[in-house]
Amino acid sequence: MVKGTLTNHLTMQLNLPLPSFNPSLFQKQKPLDFDADDSTIDRDFIRSQDFFCTPDYITPATNTDSSLENITCPKSPEKIKTIRSKRQKLDIDLEAPHEPIDTGHQSMVDLVEDNLWTDEMKIDKEVEWQNNHNYLSKSAVALRCRVMPPPCLKNPYLKDTSEFDADPFGNQRSKCAGFQPPAGIGGDGLSRYRTDFHEIEKIGYGNFNQVFKVLKRIDGCMYAVKHSMRQLHQDAERRKALMEVQALAALGYHENIVGYYSSWFENQQHYIQLELCEHSLSLNRLSKLFTEREALEAMYQIAKALQFIHGRGIVHLDVKPENIYVKNGVYKLGDFGCATLIDKSLAIEEGDARYMPQEILNENYENLDKVDIFSLGASIYELARGSPLPESGSHFLTLREGKLPLLPGRSIPFQNLIKVMMDANPVRRPTAKELVENPIFYRIGKNK
């Protein structure tokens, strides 16, 4: 493409005589610095032209009217002034031979030139790196992460979920995998816990989690929010923390299971929104000794919960008084952190050893559903006698052999039921369904 006026362009295309050249027109003009870097400006201009589909000038092929020589070239759109154009003008002013130079301001001019040159080099390198490496700013990556859905994790507690194995956004998600939101905030820059909930008080804690009573701002209802006390940096830690919510989500609603609402990760910690209960059956929270009727009522309702989860192929493996909660006179089983599958297709991690049978301590996992039956029997035995079970020693081993000391003031059928639930042979223990159908519950108005 020929640069210059339209007259010169047409002259070369039509082989017309060149117009007369008057050198006096150019005597006062200053030299221009067309260095190699100007190709970047032209290239950027051409890219903009291509982007907005601006057509080039079309040279007429047949019109040879000489009057066209008198047509002046239309004024080109003024180019946006950039740092480079300022430097060119500065170079021309400095190189002009007829203009005096003020030596008192020479150092300031040199400083401005050096600063402009340094900034220009930084911008050129950044633009060149972006063009060559498909650079995306952190704000763009954050936006992509915000609109990109989280990975579709397969819930191992659900059956027939093979259609969800593939992650359709895996390729796009990998591009923002390295972006981590600042600590203390969620992916959108805000704390979901602080935004959605008003924390009232701490109502429980364990070795790994703590539980708070909260008020949800949007619906005005009370909930329990459990979150991990330490940050979960490793992917394996996160997946293990998700096992509890995946088990609860797969089970769905049951009146004797603590309700599950939502969960999320924030500041590398795992949060679970759960149904708020009044208290657990921990001996530290009980004001009086359990009566036999109360013990049978708790046994019956938790046995119904076990029947429900066992029917879906899931075992709890951490049944104990601290994980049995009360709300409006209804007993609910909670804390599914050790839940696994009966078919042993998932990793097995037993709960509190005080309520575990001997076979699970020996890593015999053939009758996992019967482990929950033993744990429920041990829990009711502890509530009936009013003192904690031993953590070790001879009495600890005696209980696992099925040798239970008599409970004063308790009926023989009640003590025999607990004894069969804690039988050393798991095969002789009743199933959850058989336990629910036991005639002993007639006395509390059940199974009639």
Burial 225-240 (b: 16+ CB within 10 A, else e): bbbbeeebeeeeeeee
Closest CA to 228 of 185, 183, 274, 271: 271
d(CA 141, CA 139): 5
**Any residues with CB less than 8 A from the CB of 40 and at least 6 apart, and which?**
124, 127
CB atoms within 10 A of CB 290: 20
Query: Among 196, 318, 352, 423, which one carries the catalytic annotation?
Result: 318
Sequential DSSP letters for 295-358 = HHHHHHHHHHHHHHHHTTTEE-S--SGGGEEEETTEEEE---TT-EETTS-S------GGG--H
CB 380 within 8 A of CB 418: yes
Sequential DSSP letters for 115-179 = HHHHHHHHHHHHHHHHHHHT---HHHHHHHHHHSPPP----TTSSS-GGG-S-TTHHHHHTTTT-
Helix (H, G, I), strand (E, B) or coil at 209: strand
Annotated catalytic residue 38 = no
How far is Cα of residue 251 from the mean position of the Cα atoms in its chain? 23
Cα three-residue angle 209-307-401, rounded to 5 degrees: 80
d(CA 86, CA 105): 18
Q: Are strands 324-327 and 279-280 parallel, antiparallel or unpaired?
A: antiparallel
Helix (H, G, I), strand (E, B) or coil at 99: coil
d(CA 226, CA 205): 9
Closest CA to 331 of 299, 378, 307: 299
**Any residues with CB less than 8 A from the CB of 298 and at least 6 apart, and which?**
281, 290, 324, 331, 380, 383
**Any residues with CB less than 8 A from the CB of 309 and at least 6 apart, and which?**
251, 257, 315, 316, 339
CA-CA-CA-CA dihedral for 419, 421, 426, 429, to nearest 10: 110
Which tokens sit at 362?
A: 């020996």
**Any residues with CB less than 8 A from the CB of 99 and at least 6 apart, and which?**
93
d(CA 313, CA 337): 16
Catalogue the active-site residues.
Answer: 318
